[in-house]
Structure formats: C-alpha cells, structure tokens
Amino acid sequence: MPVFPFPTSVLGRIRHPVMMDAVNINHLDKQQFRLLTEMCILIDENDNKIGVDTKKNCHLNANIDKGLLHRAFSVFLFNTENKLLLQQRSDAKVTFPGYFTNSCCSHPLNTPWELEENGALGVRRAAQRRLKDELGIPMEQVPPEEINYLTRIHYKAQSDGIWGEHEIDYVLLVRKNVTLNPDPNEVKSYCYVSKEDLEKMLKQAASGEVQITPWFRLIAEAFLFKWWDNLSQLNQFVDHEKIHRM
C-alpha cells in the first residue's frame, strides 16, 4: 500500500477533539449513553492506527470537521435464498435514527481482540460481536472465518447539525441462514429483500419516500449488485489494497 502521510496539521488538531462534556447526551437512554463511551480506533487516511477516542467524540461533526477519522465495518448478510437482510435503525440511535441500512454496521474497538489486522481478523471479530448484540445472532453461527472481507470505503456524512460519520468502512459479506432475535434498542425493524426489492427501495429513497443511510447507499450503488450476482464467486471482487474514496 503506498504511503500517504497524514498532514501533521490535521494530526495536531485531532489531539484536541471536542470533549465529552461539550455536548449534552443526558437525554439518551442508558444503553446508547454507554455505547458512546466505547473506545474506537483512530486512523489516518491509509487506515493506519494513530490513536483512540470515544465513540461520542468520533461522531461529533465538530471533530469530524477537524479531520477525526475512525475504523468501522458494514456487514451484508445473505440467506441461502440469496436475499439480503436489512435493518431499520432504532429511533434511539445517535446517528441516522430510523434509517434503513444494511444488515449490521458498527466499529471495532480498541482491544487486542479487535485490533488484529492480519486478514482484518479484528474487524471480523468485531462484526461477530455486533451481529450478536444488534441482531441476536448466536456467535457460533457467524465465526470470523465465515465473514468475508471484500474491500474498504472512505466516506463522510452528517446525520444532523451535531452528529455525523467519518469512517474507513470495511465491507464484509456473509452468506448463511441465521437465527435472529434483534435488540429493539438497536433495531426498529428488519426484513430480507430481493434485488428487485432493494432496487425499488433505492428509487424510493431517491424520491424521499424512505430514508437509507449514506454508507449503505454508496455501497449499494457502487458494488452491491455485481456482488449479488456472484455470491458463489466473490474472490474476483476481493480488493484489500485499495480504499475507495467516496
């Protein structure tokens, strides 16, 4: 991977993010409040770890505008009928509440278990954890070796005037029948969709009839349908070198 030095001016600003107490989060429920204290992995634009910070600080637009960037993942889970699991994010979520999105979206944490970079093992372990936490999928049903790492995207999006996303997002794919028991604090609703269903949803989103998350839209428009047509031959799409700037 070519070296792309992260500007020292940006690194300097990152060391002094908006502090936790600068934005009031007392209105959040206990679970979402607790999740905002988790420690995410700060990275440069080449996905090299440069530090750690709270989930809250990573998602404040004030910090994103200063260059704060963290590692994340998005899981696309298909059943054996080749239908894709979608979820609608809970209204309790801080960013993009109530939006429809792909099967599971979250962040690896700053723990030795989820920092392992060889083969993106740490990210795949984090995905296994969050598939359990969000969707109630037993961890033994989605071992890391069955979670396929395809590629990465780098994107930025505002949710509202306070909160947003700025991530290098590992795109992961699972094809398996699983047991679902979603946590209502995380997931408002869920469904399996066909390609035709999703194409209709994307058109509805474009006209404002439904809301979908920006990372889901980007991945769907750029990659998803060609993957969908080749779920048994995904190796041709694996690209661990390039970070797609979107």
Instruction: Find the radius of gyration of the CA atoms of the chain.
Output: 17
Fold classified for 30-245: Nucleoside Triphosphate Pyrophosphohydrolase (3.90.79)
Q: Give the pLDDT confidence score for residue 32 in this predicted structure.
A: 79
User: What is the set of active-site residues?
Assistant: 105, 167
Burial of 36 (0-12, 13-18, 19+ CB in 10 A): middle
Mean pLDDT of 167-176: 98
Higher per-residue pLDDT: 143 or 6: 143
Task: Give the confidence band of 1 by pLDDT, cuts at 50, 70, 90.
Answer: very low
CA atoms of 66 and 49, how far apart (whole Å): 17
What is the total residue count of the chain?
246
CA atoms of 152 and 239, how far apart (whole Å): 8
Q: How many CA atoms lie less than 13 Å away from 130 in the CB half-sphere?
A: 25
Task: Give the confidence band of 49 by pLDDT, cuts at 50, 70, 90.
Answer: very high
Q: Give the pLDDT confidence score for residue 10 in this predicted structure.
A: 40
Q: Give the pLDDT confidence score for residue 5 in this predicted structure.
A: 34
Q: Give the pLDDT confidence score for residue 26 in this predicted structure.
A: 62
CA atoms of 35 and 222, how far apart (whole Å): 30
Residue 8 has pLDDT above 60, yes or no: no
Q: Give the pLDDT confidence score for residue 191 in this predicted structure.
A: 98
Task: Give the confidence band of 31 by pLDDT, cuts at 50, 70, 90.
Answer: confident
Residues contacting 83, CB < 8 A, separation 6+: 192, 193, 194
Which range among 33-42, 110-119, 232-241 shows the weakest confidence by mean pLDDT? 33-42
Give pTM, 2 decimals. 0.89
Report the DSSP beta bridge partners of residue 149. Answer: 172
Query: To the nearest whole number, what is the mean pLDDT of the chain?
Result: 91
DSSP string, 55-115: HHHHTBHHHHTTT--EEEEEEEEE-TT-PEEEEEEPTT-SSSTT-EE-SEEE--BSSHHHH
Mean pLDDT of 195-221: 97
Pairing outcome for strands 70-78 and 164-175: parallel
Residue 3 has pLDDT above 80, yes or no: no
Residue among 109, 111, 116, 142 nearest 128 (CA): 142
Q: Give the pLDDT confidence score for residue 28 in this predicted structure.
A: 73
Q: Give the pLDDT confidence score for residue 167 in this predicted structure.
A: 98
Other C-beta atoms closer than 10 Å to the C-beta of 143 total 11
Residue 111 has pLDDT above 90, yes or no: yes
Residue 20 has pLDDT above 50, yes or no: no
Amino acid type, 27: H
Domain ranges of the chain: 30-245
Contact 104, 87 (CB under 8 A): yes
Higher per-residue pLDDT: 167 or 9: 167
